[in-house]
A and B are shown apart, each in its own frame.
Chain A
Amino acid sequence: MNKLNTHSFLEAFPEEVLTSKIKGPVYIDDTTLRDGEQTAGVVFANEEKIHIATMLDRIGVHQIEAGVPAMGGDEKEAIREIVSLGLSASILGWNRAVISDLEHSLDCGVDAVAISISSSDIHIEHKLGRDRKWVIDSVRKAVNFAKDHELYVSVNAEDSSRSDPDFLIEFAANAKAAGADRLRYCDTVGILDPLGTYKRVKALHDAVDLDIEMHTHNDFGMATANAIAGLEAGAVYVNTTVNGLGERAGNASMEELVMALRYNQGLEMDIQTSLFRELAEYVALASGRSLPTWKPVVGGNLFVYESEGRASGVVRDPATYEMFLPGEVGLLRRFSVGKYSGPTVVRRKLREQGYHASEKEIETLVPVLRSRSISLKRSLFDNEVIDAYLMLRERK
């Protein structure tokens, strides 16, 4: 096995995955407040954490990973407050496979815990300086302790994707024997592709009867696709973050996952998607990371029409270029005049501003506006379009 378990190009996708659809149910365990905050440079204020938790609950996620109680101080205080809100969602605290970490979780009153330890040899040998036996012992001890305290337990096999598959099965079987409720499959370094994910998770799922949760990273841009591949293979939980916030290139983003399940898989979840944009903006501000206008599902430019080809389609029928209506995720449809605009966009823009130009006027305006946009190297403001139109009328 090489370093990254390189996937073979020649291998065919198994027939069952090509034809099946995810039946569900699928549960979201959102980790914006834990993996999201762990991102280098991101710190949420406690007040922000509480607001984000409240929003996540309102949106309808199944579980909220609220933080790392063992950090103590403010972090612990925030988790305690989130627990005290009495939300419908389960509240989970993240722990290393260490009893003292779990004691901090108990202090916070969470109903669920993640117990995390690396399962790959590269982590066990280089990071932990231990062996596999020590890892299994640590898992068993920690799970036993948590179950003695009646906590719901998700055991995280950190770096699952680079772990020896046989050891991962042993790891999962031991976690189950100790009473764990689920196993979090972590593609910690973000090196899986969908087929690789499917095969690995399927093998684990077939070997051990334990709920599986997908935790994927976006290092090669495939976090969402890999999370879905895990669900195809039998996983039922997904660990997401708002906007895909998370270590390095981030995690599977909640809004992408929910919408992809709805539109690629036809799987309906009880999630209030119309709040997506609002939550995305909130998390963007609180994390100090502005939301790119092109972010899938929630980006501000997704329903802005500038090029004539798309605009002419969408005014005839939105279904020509939209898989879902903008309101479904809390966005709006807009038209913008720029280099690629033609008569449809200009006509639309003027009408929207209360001007009814003749076709002849529009024909004259289009090249003028295009040239202006090109020389300014940007789209035009509505008032620039109106002024150009008024000037044209005056000149007559």
Chain B
Amino acid sequence: MNTSSIRLLDTTLRDGEQAVGVIFSPREKRQIAALLADIGIPALEAGFPALGPEEKACLLAVVEGNFQTPAGDDLEVYAFARARKEDIQDAADCQVDGVVISISTSDSHVERKFRSQRKWVLDQVREAAAEAKKQGLKFTVSAEDASRTDLPFLIEFYTLAEQVGAEWVRYCDSLGVEDPYTTYRRIKYVLQEINLPVEMHMHNDFGMATANALAGVRAGASGVIGSIGGIGERTGNSPIEEVVMALKHLYAVDLGINTPRFREVAEYVAQASHRAIPIWKAIIGTNVFAHESGIHADGILKNPESYEAFRPEEVGLERQIVIGKHSGSRAVIHKFSAEFGIDLDDETAQQLLTKVRSTAVELKRPLFTKELMLLFEELNHQTKAG
């Protein structure tokens, strides 16, 4: 498999915005698209035009940006559509490059949500595809709830997609119920049966969205859909920064993304979506390179590789040694020498550490630099008075 051909597609502006309470303005959608193109993401879904005129304005704002990746490629802009003629027309109104034609394929959805049958699903795809072609749009055919779909029907569905001229088919774990082994097994099977490239759209309901997307790639899928910070319905999607960094560091597959700007892009999306980035968020959280416990801080000071898989600068973060309840004397000595130019002897460091620990326990948090200095002065004062 040619791993450099993996295509990332970002859905921050579509599935991301579908998260409860998240709404981007046209200006924000345009800005996010610009940032994604800037860091080298080649394709994105900009929204769901059938929602109405406001959403169409958002998509137009993105399209009119004419964004390019640093490699000089045009950012591919997709619109999301249900498998309906009208939705495709709405997409065409937005002058996007392509449209994602989505419909549920699981019996649970077909029978209980649509109150219909499989044949109807196939007819809908046929009609929507014909409309997309008429409008001159390239298209992806997406199987919603693919992970709970009977495999023979999924193959029938994807085969139809191939026949009607789709460029890609999409495999959605809409409820986030798969594990990596199931994903791997099913994608392997699908790829034996069809000749179109498959893209993975995974949800994080059991915390496995990234692992599942990567399992799909290992099985031969050539596209991964992600979003910044994993924003999306319910628990969200595969965070695109996790996918990129895992590919780079765990599999040595470098997609050429400008990762030092991850934090900046994530901050923009966090602001626009009113969702703060948890400080412990993998890859982009500010605490990911904060070390407090004595053993870890000591290890880090001797060699960062002891506890870090990659350097903080690689994702736009900084390393911090936090002084608190779990600190050891090495970290305290380092802090005083590096930041205040004061060399502590071992005994003073031990005495100071005792004070640091009891203060941190009392305050239920680590200490600010100023508090640390105050404790040091207090200690000096006591020593002199004693």
A and B associate in one complex:
yes
B177/A374 in contact, CB under 8 A: no
Are A378 and B274 touching (Cβ within 8 A)? yes
Residue of A43, A220, A320 touching B242 (CB-CB under 8 A): A220
Q: Which residues of A contact B308 (CB under 8 A)?
A: 189
A41–B292 CB distance below 8 A: yes
Give Cα A160–Cα B288 distance, bound, in whole angstroms: 20
Contact of A264 among B113, B178, B218 (CB under 8 A): B178
CB contacts under 8 Å to B, within A302-325, are 302, 304-307, 309-310, 312-313, 316-317, 319-323
The total of chain B residues at the interface (CB under 8 A) is 101
Given A13-B184, A127-B306, A229-B180, A38 and B293 touching (CB < 8 A)? yes
- Taken residue by residue from 281 to 319, chain A's Cβ proximity to chain B (1 for < 8 Å, 0 otherwise) reads as 000000011001111110101101111011011001101
Interface residues of B in 267-319 (CB under 8 A from A): 274-275, 278-283, 285, 287-293, 295-296, 298-299, 302-303, 305-309
Contacts of B361 in A (CB 8 A): 43, 45, 73-74
Whether A25 sits at the interface, judged by CB under 8 Å, is no
Selected from B21, B175, B252, B287, the residue in CB contact (under 8 A) with A379 is B21
Q: Check: B384 CB closer than 8 A to any chain A CB.
A: no
| Complex CA distance for A227 and B185, rounded to whole angstroms | 20
Q: Whole-angstrom distance between the alpha carbons of A38 and B251 in the complex?
A: 30
User: Chain B, 28-51, contact with A by CB distance < 8 Å: what is the 0/1 string?
Assistant: 000000000000000000001001
| Interchain CB contact under 8 A, A126 and B208 | no
Residue A154 lies at the interface, judged by CB distance under 8 Å to chain B: no
With the chains together, A265 CA to B182 CA distance in Å?
Answer: 10
B278–A292 touching, CB < 8 Å = yes
In A191-221, the 8 Å CB interface with B consists of 191-196, 218-221
Q: Which residues of A contact B185 (CB under 8 A)?
A: 13, 18
Bound complex: CA A370 to CA B55 (Å)? 11
Cβ distance B340 to chain A, nearest Cβ, rounded Å: 20
B82 contacts which chain A residues (CB < 8 A)?
Answer: 309
User: With contacts A41-B292, A296-B207 known, is A7 near B251, CB below 8 A?
Assistant: yes
Residues A43 and B20 in contact, CB atoms below 8 Å apart: no
* Chain B min CB distance to A213 (Å): 19
Which residue from chain B places its CB closest to the CB of A228 in the assembled complex?
B179
- Is A247 within 8 A of B250, CB to CB? no
Instruction: Say if the beta carbon of B134 comes within 8 Å of chain A.
Output: no
A326 to chain B, nearest CB (A): 12
Which range holds the interface residue count of chain A? 35 or more
Taking the complex as formed, is A353 at the interface, i.e. its CB lies under 8 A from any CB of chain B?
A: no
Centre residue among B48, B179, B274, B305 by max chain A CB count within 10 A: B179
Please tell me which stretch of B90-98, B153-161, B164-172, B322-330 contacts chain A, meaning at least 4 of its Cβ atoms lie within 8 angstroms of it.
B322-330
Choice from B113, B179, B251, B291 contacting A316 with Cβ under 8 Å: B113
Looking at the assembled complex, report how far the CB atom of A335 sits from the nearest CB atom of chain B, in whole angstroms.
10
* A21-60 interface code vs B (CB 8 A; 1 in, 0 out): 0000000000000000111110111000000000000000
- Taking the closest CB of chain B, its distance from the CB of A328, in whole angstroms, is 13
Asked if A249 meets B281 with Cβ closer than 8 Å, knowing A40-B366, A378-B274, the reply is yes
Question: Quick check: B307 and A223 within 8 Å, CB to CB?
Answer: no
Cβ of B287 and Cβ of A39 under 8 Å apart? yes
B181 touches A17 (CB 8 A): yes
The answer to whether A122 and B21 touch (CB under 8 A), given A40-B291, A294-B236, is no
**A156 and B251 alpha carbons, distance in the complex (Å):** 26
Q: Are A18 and B181 in contact (CB under 8 A)?
A: yes
Return chain B residues, CB-CB under 8 Å to A74: 358, 361
Contact partner, A374, options B54, B287, B306, Cβ 8 Å:
B54
Contact with A along B232-251 (1 / 0, CB 8 A): 01111011001001100111
> B285 contacts A249, CB within 8 Å?
yes
B211/A221 in contact, CB under 8 A: yes
Q: Is the CB of A289 within 8 A of B177?
A: no
Q: Given A39-B292, A220-B246, A320-B109, do A126 and B299 touch, yes or no (CB 8 Å)?
A: yes
Known: A194-B215, A224-B208. A302 touches B235 (CB 8 A): yes
Interface residue? B320 (CB, 8 A):
yes
A370 neighbours in B (Cβ, 8 Å): 51-52, 54
Cα–Cα, bound, A188→B1 (Å): 31
A340 and B250: CB pair below 8 A? Answer: no
Contact call A73/B357, Cβ cutoff below 8 A? yes
Could you say which residues of chain A place their CB within 8 Å of the CB of B54?
339, 370-371, 374
Q: Report the bound CA distance from A192 to B348 in whole Å.
A: 41
A261: nearest residue on chain B (CB-CB)?
Answer: B206
B117 at the interface (CB under 8 A from A): no
Please indicate which of the listed interface residues A4, A188, A312 has the most CB atoms of chain B within 10 Å of its own CB.
A4
> Which residues of A sit under 8 angstroms from B235, Cβ to Cβ?
294-296, 299, 302
Contacts of A260 in B (CB 8 A): 179, 206-208
Can you name 14 extra interface pairs (CB under 8 A) apart from A222-B208, A340-B51? Answer: A2-B252, A6-B250, A6-B252, A40-B292, A127-B299, A194-B180, A220-B246, A244-B280, A259-B206, A264-B178, A293-B275, A294-B19, A304-B20, A306-B20
Residues on B facing A (Cβ under 8 Å): 1, 3, 17-21, 23-25, 48, 51-52, 54-55, 82, 108-109, 112-113, 115, 174-182, 184-185, 204-212, 214-215, 217-218, 230-231, 233-236, 238-239, 242, 245-246, 249-253, 274-275, 278-283, 285, 287-293, 295-296, 298-299, 302-303, 305-309, 320, 322, 324-326, 357-358, 360-361, 363-366
8 smallest CB-CB distances across A and B, nearest first, come from A225-B211, A40-B292, A40-B290, A313-B113, A224-B207, A249-B282, A126-B303, A256-B207
